[in-house]
Amino acid sequence: MRLSKALIPTLKETPSEAQIASHRLMLRAGLIRQMASGIYAWLPAGLRVLTKIAQIVREEQDRIGAQEVLMPTIQSADLWRESGRYEAYGKEMLRITDRHDRELLYGPTNEEMITAIVRDNIKSYRDLPQMPYHIQWKFRDEVRPRFGVLRGREFLMKDGYSFDLDFDGALRTYKSIMLAYMRTFQRIGITAIPMRADTGAIGGDLSHEFHILAPTGESGVFFDAAFETGDALGATDIDSFYEQMTTTYAATDEKHDERVWAQIPPERKREGRGIEVGQIFYFGTKYSKAMNFAVTGADGQKFYPEMGSYGIGVSRLVGAIIEARHDEAGIIWPQAIAPWRAAILNLRQGDETTDALCEQLYAALGSDALYDDREERAGAKFAEADLMGLPWQLIVGPKGAAKGVVELKHRATGERFELPVDEALAKVRA
């Protein structure tokens, strides 16, 4: 994309409404704009990040055999009366009445809807297990929307659901979801730690939250240094992976146990703050019973499938990643989800040789590059490139251009290389 034509409205000033780094940087880098309290429009650079995160989430769900569906954002109140949650959910639910006085709501989550869909279409044990998921906007009328997309009212979530024959099957599913989540976060380029959690409004027996470490996180977290390495992902089988994940100490302040903590060697203790980016639940037959979803078993008897639900905050992740990866100058995107791989900075717009070299780089990188072709001072271009945080900057001035040389800057480390065009391109593509 050419920056001169792009809808990337960067800001020099710090917006006064933004209290934390990710919110400030998302506004300043032109990723989002607030349309109403807790409701955001995603502009081109922001949408590219959101889409890349969603794609990694999708690929890792598909890899464990989950199937993508797309359920609507608007749901009928009657569906929620079946589970008893229509009254119980309270003020966070946005309730709507249509022109025929039918009660609707903007979905905060989809346990009821997916249970109804599977119930009405799956009748036999032979068709289980099922693991549908979707990536869809949710609405929760949060009392205090804040910190930009970290706590919005409308937000994008991957929510998945599972229906198994029995407890053993449900536990196997739960473990495979945990593995998929850890792979997802690793591919995105961040460290997330699963922590034993309370089950809250969803209800049920077993739950883990996944937290990204950041000083502005809402939860205090305590964990074993073993999580810093990501080694458990190399486990040979799912059971030993799950064993490692769940026996190594990690807890939010709500679940923290001082007695157990005291037994961990001091050099392995880590304390900090975490942002919840995902949560998974096993809740047995809570919804299948309440919504009368029974299937016929091998013995001809009816039974209620064992269920779980699994969420990832896709839009929250954008803010959480920035909280974990930024400096004074701006965002530092992990390569896998950066809106573009490289920025091309033309330091002498209008100079024939410089323009030609920039066009050559732009043609070679195609949709992976953001080309700063504006009539701007070099200083302003450097500052905006650092603010936007693309992994690489290809800096082209008239002197280098005359020799076919560009300066390549790595945003995360600040390293700089003077390289012939081909070598610079190879490094960016690597």
Residue 85 contacts ligand ATP per CB under 6 A: no
Considering beta carbons, is residue 201 or 363 the nearer one to ligand ATP?
201
Q: Print the SS3 string covering 288-341.
A: HHHCCCCEECCCCCEECCEEEEEEEEHHHHHHHHHHHCEECCEECCCHHHCCCC
Considering beta carbons, is residue 75 or 279 the nearer one to ligand ATP?
279
Cβ 274 to Mg ion shortest distance, Å: 12
313 binds, among Mg ion, ligand ATP, none (CB under 5 to 8 A by kind): ligand ATP
Strands 416-420 and 405-410, by their bridges, are antiparallel
- CA dist., res. 88 & res. 100, Å (int): 24
Task: Out of 60, 164, 276, 373, name the contact with ligand ATP by CB under 6 A.
Answer: 276
58 binds, among Mg ion, ligand ATP, none (CB under 5 to 8 A by kind): none
85 binds, among ligand ATP, Mg ion, none (CB under 5 to 8 A by kind): none
Amino acid letter for position 295: V
List binders of ligand ATP among 199-238 (CB under 6 A): none
- Choose among 313, 314, 315, 319: nearest CA to 333: 319
- CA dist., res. 424 & res. 421, Å (int): 5
Burial class (CB in 10 A: 0-12, 13-18, 19+), 137: middle
Cβ 282 to Mg ion shortest distance, Å: 14
Residue 23 contacts ligand ATP per CB under 6 A: no
Task: Out of 52, 58, 119, 140, name the contact with ligand ATP by CB under 6 A.
Answer: 140
Considering beta carbons, is residue 115 or 393 the nearer one to ligand ATP?
115
Strands 269-284 and 302-303, by their bridges, are unpaired
Residue 203, classed as helix, strand or coil, is coil
Number of H helices, E strands in the chain: 14, 23
Instruction: Report the interface residues with Mg ion, using CB under 5 A.
Output: 279
Give whole-number Cα distances, 49 to 55, 196, 341, 389, in Å: 10, 29, 11, 12
Task: Out of 278, 284, 308, 339, name the contact with ligand ATP by CB under 6 A.
Answer: 278
Binding mask 151-180 for ligand ATP (x = CB under 6 A): xx--x-x-----------------------
Q: Angle 421-429/352-365 helices, nearest 10 degrees?
A: 30
Residue 30 contacts ligand ATP per CB under 6 A: no
Considering beta carbons, is residue 152 or 339 the nearer one to ligand ATP?
152
Per the rule left: phi > 0, alpha: psi between -120 and 50, beta: everything else, 355 is alpha
158 binds, among Mg ion, ligand ATP, none (CB under 5 to 8 A by kind): none
Are the beta carbons of 194 and 178 closer than 8 angstroms? Answer: yes
152 binds, among Mg ion, ligand ATP, none (CB under 5 to 8 A by kind): ligand ATP
Cβ 154 to Mg ion shortest distance, Å: 17
Cβ 236 to ligand ATP shortest distance, Å: 29
- Choose among 318, 255, 309, 340: nearest CA to 108: 309
Considering beta carbons, is residue 142 or 407 the nearer one to ligand ATP?
142
Residue 277 contacts ligand ATP per CB under 6 A: yes
Task: Out of 217, 308, 313, 400, name the contact with ligand ATP by CB under 6 A.
Answer: 313
- CA dist., res. 3 & res. 339, Å (int): 13
Closest residue by beta carbon to ligand ATP: 313
Closest residue by beta carbon to Mg ion: 279
Q: Print the SS3 string covering 41-110.
A: EECHHHHHHHHHHHHHHHHHHHHCCCEECCCCCEEEHHHHHHHCHHHHCHHHCEEEECCCCCEEEECCCC
Amino acid letter for position 107: G
Residue 184 contacts ligand ATP per CB under 6 A: no
Cβ 276 to ligand ATP shortest distance, Å: 5
**Segment interacting with ligand ATP, rule: CB under 6 A, options 116-124, 147-155, 240-248, 351-359:** 147-155
Write the CB contacts of 303 (distance below 8 Å, at least 6 apart in sequence).
125, 165, 294, 295, 297
Cβ 57 to ligand ATP shortest distance, Å: 12
Cβ 70 to ligand ATP shortest distance, Å: 17
Are the beta carbons of 137 and 74 closer than 8 angstroms? Answer: no
**Segment interacting with ligand ATP, rule: CB under 6 A, options 48-56, 63-71, 277-285, 334-342:** 277-285
Residue 311 contacts ligand ATP per CB under 6 A: yes
Q: Where on the chain is the footprint of ligand ATP (CB under 6 A)? A: 109, 140, 142, 151-152, 155, 157, 276-279, 311, 313, 315-316
